[in-house]
Structure 1
Amino acid sequence: MGYTIQAGAFSAVENAANLAKCLTEQHLDAYYFQYRKGLYKVRFGNFQTEEEASREAVILKAMGTIEDFYIVRPSEYATAKETTLGTPYVRDQVVKTAHTFVGVPYRWGGTTASQGFDCSGLTMAVFKLNGLNLPRTSRQQFNRGFSVSRDKLTKGDLVFFDTAGRGDVSHVGIYIGDNKFIHAPRTGKTVRLSSLSSPYYGKRYRGARSYL
């Protein structure tokens, strides 16, 4: 991840969602997230330099699209702190971030909380907020990363399933420990916790990958 623009500090999630939607409609890769309990912020963009990010933010502020803003540096992401705080810290942050999206509606092709998530859109957003870019689809995410056996699953690993019944990966979630994972299931559902031991997901399990 490069430099990202962070804007807004909303007590109402609807206001954060509206700003993210507005930015997305301007072809900016925007998403809101829970900064802490009762406070939501919006991030967007992926710029190579701080100057480039600041320039874009100043333009948007002049247009009245955003108000105050903050440039998030690559060193501030959880993955950048792995050397000093350790991989368990990064994994905890991934799980913590995933929990903030529980309840967001499913939307096929969705990659933001404001528009809804599909399964791989959710994993992309969670990892992006922690400083790591993932491939777009569940199959692509499965084909990369490091293979993890089921008995070695660790918080923050990605778990994959064949929910389409075609013998190939078609669904992904984020393992959070205790044999549970967070995922965006399907149309009409919301982001939720499920169990790897459930009859449905247990028999459709296809493997796991680690990006940490």
Structure 2
Amino acid sequence: MKRIVSLFFLVLFFTACKPTSAIITSKKEAEDKGIYTPPIAKKIIAKKELHTKAEKKKEIVKKSKIIEVEASDYIVNTADSSYLVEQLINLASTKIGTNYKSGGITDEGFDCSGLMYNIFDLYHIKLPHSSFEQSKLGAVVERENIKKGDLIFFRTNGRRQINHVGMVIEVNADEIKFIHSATSSGVIVSSTKEPYYQKSFAQVNRILL
């Protein structure tokens, strides 16, 4: 009887000590079973990334250089024109919905050249307040070379002289989208696919290199 009791306790001991599940030998297995989550590594932010938008804007403006081509012509060279273009487009987009106002250059209302004058002026790029005079700036570019940030010009209402301007914000194979201030709608985005602008298109100028 004593021997049977001893065997019973021996069996009970081994049963209690037997693992109920397989031993996990790696973090990968622990992750797979959902009992281990690796710590999220903190991103080391480079000093360059710590710049605020305002600081970046100042840096770009500081690096901008105006080169005089003729008395009334200039092209702006900047260390990072792609960044500057995106900022100009972002700024122009915040003006969407603003009313049209003849001669307007503020958020109270813009005419077409006044809108261009306003958004470029923030970056210390001075444009004349006239679509015709703006069409004399920089260099005229061919259709296949048009880029975002270029100025697009039109002769509307059968005019012989350029009288309307916008800024290119998107270029597709068969379409250019531009932001401008229209007399009927205020600041909007339009397309060269629209018959009115298709018919009145004049040229595209690049003033940012």
TM-score for both structures, normalised by structure 2: 0.61
Where do 4+ consecutive residues of structure 1 move more than 2 Å?
77-85
Give CA deviations for 1:82-118 in whole Å, capped at 9, x if unaligned. 688521111111111110100000011111112x000
Mapped pair 1:160 → 2:153: yes
Structure 1 residues 182 and 77: alpha-carbon distance in aligned structure 2, compared to 1, 3 A threshold: farther
Conserved? CA contact 1:147–1:210, under 8 Å: yes
Mind listing any 5+ residue stretches in structure 2 that lack a counterpart? Answer: 1-52, 65-76
Mapped pair 1:102 → 2:67: no
The match for 2:199 among 197, 200, 203 is 203
Give CA deviations for 1:165-185 in whole Å, capped at 9, x if unaligned. 122101000100132000001
Distance 1:136 1:169 in 2: 13
Conserved? CA contact 2:154–2:197, under 8 Å: yes
AA at the equivalent of 1:152: N
Which structure is larger by alpha-carbon Rg, 1 or 2? 2
The match for 1:76 among 14, 38, 58 is 58
AA at the equivalent of 2:204: A
**Counterpart in the other structure of 2:68:** none
Q: Say what the alpha-carbon RMSD is for the aligned residues.
A: 2.3
Distance 1:200 1:157 in 2: 20
Distance 1:100 1:117 in 2: 13
Structure with bigger strand share is: 1
The match for 1:147 among 116, 140, 150 is 140
Distance 2:204 2:61 in 1: 20
TM-score for both structures, normalised by structure 1: 0.60
Mind listing any 5+ residue stretches in structure 1 that lack a counterpart? Answer: 1-35, 37-71
**Counterpart in the other structure of 1:56:** none
Give CA deviations for 1:146-170 in whole Å, capped at 9, x if unaligned. 1111221111110000013122101
**Counterpart in the other structure of 1:181:** 178
Structure 1 residues 197 and 130: alpha-carbon distance in aligned structure 2, compared to 1, 3 A threshold: same
Distance 1:80 1:197 in 2: 38
The count of residues paired between Structure 1 and Structure 2 equals 139
Mapped pair 1:190 → 2:186: yes
